[in-house]
Amino acid sequence: MNPVPYPPRDLSSASTLGLPCMAEHFAAPASLAELQAALAEARARGWPLTLLGGGSNLILPERLSGLVIRPAMAGWWVEEGEGDRVRVHAEAGVVWHDLVMALAGQGLWGTENLALIPGHCGAAPIQNIGAYGVELSEVLEALQVVDLADGREAWMTPQACAFGYRDSVFKGRLAGRVVITRLVLNLSRRGEARLGYGDLAGRVGKDPTPLEVVEAVCAIRRDKLPDPARLANAGSFFKNPVVEAALAERLLALDPEMPHFPQPDGRVKLAAGWLIDQSGLKGLCEGHFGVHDRQALVLVHFGGGSAAELLAFAERVARRVLERFGVALEREPRLAG
């Protein structure tokens, strides 16, 4: 066998949580051919694989054995479609927010509410990124994957991706089996702003452009969410829980102000941030970690801590919410390795 081609890499700054991590082998393929070569090498040497994107929704352990692959193909282009429609092709390594800015700058509608979500395009479908009343699945037309087992390319429809709230087939049946290499988005040159969520409508003028919506979304996010470049975090640490109607009613009887969102199946989605806040935990600091003081759904890392300590801290937060409200919180960021 040839000398080992993919050297180790310190990944301590590769995730927005800033947890210390060493990868045994690391590859950043800049083309499909390079990706396929890295997969073939891993197969030949029996290395386990870990995929990395922008690292904004990931908890890294101290050591990752085998090969860590961070797709680095980062091209994107616009293809004219029927009438006002356009197709936008974006490769996995494109920074999501940079794409959103560029598309809004071109007057294209569809992704403006998803501004300032950290991470790369290739990771966006995994948790079906969503914010301000819009989810990626609403604009996704197709995506390309490469099978980790044999390096073969395939295209998938949104139906095949089984998108849900912060969920997709890539967290389930296809977890650890494919790498997403390209997104195709269906956008429009003519559109209408979607301003129904929270105070978004109050932040823009009449008939805003996509860029004005992007700026309003960025302003709201900057108000509430910590910038990972200044304070390490992985965005929402818990999903908003969906509970049985009877439980929601009992909780509403205690506090009619509780934010609640009835779901089509009769259950009710609650705001995890509110539940944590009302449990008196907002701003709590314990050791190297804390609950953010402006958005209780976000756990922050002050530096020096480990993944195990973070998970134990999150467990304590979830337990307090369970004791107080009888609601179980589910972790949102994925554990690597």
Q: Has 56 been annotated as catalytic?
A: no
Residues 217-236 close enough to bind ligand EPU by CB under 6 A: 224-225, 235-236
Task: Fill in the amino acid letter for 2.
Answer: N
Size of residue set near ligand EPU by CB under 6 A: 20
Q: Which of 64, 75, 61 is nearest to 26 (CA)?
A: 64
Q: What is the enclosing helix (H) or strand (E) of 37?
A: helix 32-45
Report in angstroms how near the CB of residue 131 gets to ligand EPU at its nearest: 4
Q: What three-state secondary structure class fits 147?
A: strand
C-alpha torsion sign, points 268, 272, 277, 280: positive
Residue 240 is a binding residue for ligand EPU (CB under 6 A): yes
Report in angstroms how near the CB of residue 24 gets to ligand EPU at its nearest: 29
Report in angstroms how near the CB of residue 299 gets to ligand EPU at its nearest: 11
35 φ, ψ to 5°? -65, -45
Q: Which is nearer to ligand EPU, 41 or 138 (CB)?
A: 138
Distance CA 315, CA 16 (A): 20
Number of H helices, E strands in the chain: 6, 20
Tokens, residue 47 = 């290395």
Choice among 112, 166, 168, 182 that is catalytic: 166
Per-residue binding letters, 247-266, with ligand EPU (x by CB under 6 A): ------------x-------
Q: Which of 85, 87, 189, 239 binds ligand EPU (CB under 6 A)?
A: 239
Tokens, residue 202 = 């109050």
Distance CA 74, CA 120 (A): 9
Per-residue binding letters, 96-135, with ligand EPU (x by CB under 6 A): -----------------------------------xx---
Report in angstroms how near the CB of residue 166 gets to ligand EPU at its nearest: 6
Distance CA 207, CA 212 (A): 9
Residue 280 is a binding residue for ligand EPU (CB under 6 A): no
Report in angstroms how near the CB of residue 165 gets to ligand EPU at its nearest: 7
Q: Which of 213, 296, 314, 336 binds ligand EPU (CB under 6 A)?
A: 296
Q: Which is nearer to ligand EPU, 42 or 248 (CB)?
A: 248
Choice among 15, 56, 168, 236 that is catalytic: 236
The residues with which 183 forms a beta bridge, in sequence order, are 90, 143
Q: Has 324 been annotated as catalytic?
A: no
The residue of the chain with the least Cβ separation from ligand EPU equals 235
Q: Which is nearer to ligand EPU, 92 or 297 (CB)?
A: 297
Distance CA 217, CA 117 (A): 10
Residue 321 is a binding residue for ligand EPU (CB under 6 A): no
Q: What is the enclosing helix (H) or strand (E) of 269?
A: strand 268-270
Residue 325 is a binding residue for ligand EPU (CB under 6 A): no
Q: Has 306 been annotated as catalytic?
A: no
Q: What is the enclosing helix (H) or strand (E) of 131?
A: strand 130-131
Distance CA 230, CA 13 (A): 12
| DSSP per residue, 63-89 | EEEEEEE------EEEEE-STTEEEEE
Q: Which of 47, 274, 313, 325 binds ligand EPU (CB under 6 A)?
A: 274
Q: Which is nearer to ligand EPU, 69 or 200 (CB)?
A: 200
- Let me know: does 275 contact 204? Beta carbons within 8 Å: no
Q: What is the enclosing helix (H) or strand (E) of 276?
A: helix 272-278
Residues 163-202 close enough to bind ligand EPU by CB under 6 A: 197-198
Residue 297 is a binding residue for ligand EPU (CB under 6 A): yes
Q: Which of 53, 71, 125, 273 binds ligand EPU (CB under 6 A)?
A: 273
| Residues found near ligand EPU in the complex (CB under 6 A) | 131-132, 197-198, 224-225, 235-236, 239-240, 259, 271, 273-274, 277, 282, 295-297, 332
As annotated, the active-site residues are: 166, 236, 332
